[in-house]
Amino acid sequence: MPRLRSSSARREEGRRNFLPRPAAALAACIALVLGAVGCGEGEVAEGATVTVYISAPLRGAQAAAGKAMCEGARHELARSGGRTAGVRVRAVCLDDSGGRRRWSLAAVGANARRATEDSTTIGYIGELDRVATRFSRPIVESAGIAQLSTLSGRVAMASLLRAIREASGSASLRNAVREEVSRR
């Protein structure tokens, strides 16, 4: 004869059956995130476009230095014709001041996250302040992106362009550029 269960026992059994679904959903989300982090790591085709993000204060007390860094990087990129090793390189300047007198932790983090969310990102130039760099570096490096912290955008862009040339043809251009930059 089948055993009758109380309504509380049936609810408890339902909860036990429900627990694996959130775990499965969490596992699916983790797999999706790990897949997204891998985006942009494949071989870059001839004529593809890669992006270099430049994070510097564009307003406030350090605006002149930040704008000079951004313009220096753009000038160096223009000297190369915006291309190297068969790929087009574009520069995106981001303001890390957040509208304040100096850099803002929120703006630094947002800039670093924006760079990591772009599958075309090959390099990150910034920040002007060493303390700000301590906040952006873990975010950028966790995505396998080379970060150059310098006062000269021109020198940093030249270094990235050289690393792209030397790394061309590798299975993972992003990782190869990061390794080239770290050797210097």
| DSSP code of residue 103 | -
Q: Which of 43-47, 108-112, 125-129 has the lowest mean pLDDT?
A: 43-47
Phi, then psi, of 161 in degrees rounded to 5? -60, -40
How high is the pLDDT of residue 51?
Answer: 97
CB 91 within 8 A of CB 148: no
Per-residue CA distances from 162 to 1, 67, 86, 134, 142 (Å):
80, 23, 13, 25, 22
Higher per-residue confidence, 79 vs 1: 79
Predicted confidence (pLDDT) at residue 87 exceeds the cutoff of 70? yes
Which tens digits make up the pLDDT trace of 65-78? Answer: 999 999 999 999 99
Q: Output the six-digit token pair for 46.
A: 């001839």
> What is the helix, strand, coil percentage profile of the chain, to 5?
55, 15, 30
How high is the pLDDT of residue 58?
Answer: 93
Which residue ranges make up each domain of the chain?
Answer: 7-37, 49-183
Cα gap 150→128, rounded to integer Å? 6
How high is the pLDDT of residue 18?
Answer: 44
Phi, then psi, of 12 in degrees rounded to 5? -65, -40
% residues pLDDT > 70 (the chain): 75
Region 127-133: mean pLDDT is: 92
Domain 49-183 carries which CATH code? Answer: 3.40.50.2300
Neighbouring CB atoms inside 10 A of 171's CB total 9
Higher per-residue confidence, 4 vs 175: 175
Cα gap 11→32, rounded to integer Å? 32
How high is the pLDDT of residue 3?
Answer: 58
What is the SS3 assignment for 127-147? CCCHHHHHHHHHHHHHCCCEE
Per-residue CA distances from 177 to 32, 38, 76, 163 (Å):
25, 15, 18, 5
How high is the pLDDT of residue 4?
Answer: 60
